[in-house]
Amino acid sequence: MWVIYRVLISLYFNLIKMASWFRPDARKWIEGRKNFSKWLAEQNPNDSPHIWVHCSSLGEFEQGRSLIDNIKFKYPDKLIWLSFFSPSGYDVRKNYPQADVVSYFPSDNLNDVKEFIEKINPLLVIFVKYDFWFNTLQELSRRSVPFAFVSMSLHQNSYLRKSWANKFLNILREACLLSVQDQNSYDFLKSKGFDNILLAGDGRIDRIISLGEESFHNEFIDKFCGESPILVIGSSWTQDLEILKKAIQSSAFENWKIIIAPHKVDDPHINECKTFFGSGINLYSGGIQSLSEVSRVLVIDFIGLLATLYRKATLAYVGGGFGKGIHNILEPIAFGVPVCFGPQHKKFREAQIFMDQKFGFEIRKAEDLIKIALKCKEAGWQDERKVDIQQFLQNQKGSTERIMSYLEQHKFLK
């Protein structure tokens, strides 16, 4: 089994190299790891011990962010090494102030793993959610380095639930902590005899609660929004825009203004927005002096602003639900905003919870979104949604505190 895994892992990373010849995202992945050994040596020349936190991408970072912040606050002398697998996460958070070093994760090839671990010299390793690299986990175990998974979720279709994956699942018995988001994941691991599990919830809840408490002022955004109802469209893809274009042309969205933050902000995706909504749209990069009062559409061609923009929303739509899966639907509720999304949400437990709680809505066609826009005009409807959202957040908060307490009680943080 392990021979097969190592062959497949080697093949996987070689395929990324091949894909870099014609895929920009793969090319960026490869370029970010050029001269990696030399760069590593420069980051930690004295081999100082670090707490290593690994996130696959930006979404996972948000799940672990409150924990990182708390560790740095309580243990300011501890060095933190933050790693990302994807360029999208690294590019946005490479200057994250609570981390002493931010880097890419090199690969799960054994030689790369050994070099990386030796240079980080980890006291503790924290993996966020489910980026399972089994060569890395085996090597950490061999070196007696404690490792934990936080905000972990093993959904019903997870390969680790399959009988053929038992050998991989068993490696997780070596973890000092498996902190899971949901009861289902907890029950599954309990049924397999795991005793290193903690039902702590989703770390993003603590993060979005703090996000909702932060102040925000942006002259450009304030001027664009004025007193109009606002639809904020986050992380949109082509299929989302096709439905949204039809919806906002209806009378239900009359007098609304639209803020669009595409999933990617490169020229092709910005031009796509122009195709759907007209070349006269406002671009955030144009600055306040370019703001047109004629156009009611603003496109955010800038990474890092979306989470705070939701505070301006009357209604939010989060994209990705007509493709591989929805993006972060927790961010809008930080500000008490009801959220809509496409039908590909089955792997995201919070989507079903939101729908059950009546502040999340599945959108399959333009008419579905139009119905929700009309609901926003009903007296008291939005106030009721805000109350429901606030109750949900209060019931779900505290994941970070529970994880910190466990790590401290068991002397993994000291």
Calculate mean pLDDT across residues 125-154. 94
pLDDT of residue 293: 78
Structure confidence by residue, pLDDT tens digits, 145-178: 999 999 998 988 888 999 998 999 999 999 999 9
pLDDT of residue 33: 87
CA 98-103-104 angle, to 5 degrees, is 140
The first and second tokens of residue 35, run together, are 């001269």
What one-letter code names the amino acid at 47? D
Q: Are the CB atoms for 348 and 320 separated by under 8 Å?
A: no
Sign, CA dihedral 146-170-85-302, equals negative
Structure confidence by residue, pLDDT tens digits, 8-25: 888 988 888 888 788 888
Is 90 exceeded by the pLDDT of residue 137?
yes
Structure confidence by residue, pLDDT tens digits, 237-263: 999 999 999 999 999 999 999 999 998
Q: How far apart are CA 339 and CA 233, in angstroms?
A: 10
Is 90 exceeded by the pLDDT of residue 29?
no
Q: Are the CB atoms for 323 and 343 separated by under 8 Å?
A: no
pLDDT of residue 332: 95
- Give the CA-trace dihedral at 188, 190, 195, 197, to 10 degrees: 50
* DSSP run (H or E) holding 126: strand 122-128
Domains and CATH numbers, the chain: 39-201+398-409 (3.40.50.11720), 217-396 (3.40.50.2000)
The first and second tokens of residue 72, run together, are 């740095």
Is 90 exceeded by the pLDDT of residue 221?
yes
The pLDDT confidence band at residue 374, using thresholds 50, 70 and 90, is: very high
Nearest to 67 by CA among 92, 98, 100: 98
Query: Residue 291 CB: number of other CB atoms within 10 A?
Result: 15
Residue with the larger pLDDT of the pair 172 and 270: 172
Q: List the beta bridge partners of residue 148.
A: 126, 177
Alpha helix stretches (DSSP H) within 95-176: 110-120, 134-142, 166-171
pLDDT of residue 97: 95
The pLDDT confidence band at residue 92, using thresholds 50, 70 and 90, is: confident
Q: List the beta bridge partners of residue 124.
A: 51
Alpha-carbon distances of 351 from 65, 228, 238, rounded to whole Å: 21, 28, 21
Is 80 exceeded by the pLDDT of residue 3?
no
DSSP letter string, 332-358:
HHTTT--EEE-S--TT-HHHHHHHHTT
Alpha-carbon distances of 112 from 16, 240, 380, rounded to whole Å: 16, 39, 57
Nearest to 161 by CA among 150, 172, 151: 172
Residue 219 CB-density burial (10 A; 0-12 exposed, 13-18 middle, 19+ buried) = exposed
Is 90 exceeded by the pLDDT of residue 271?
no
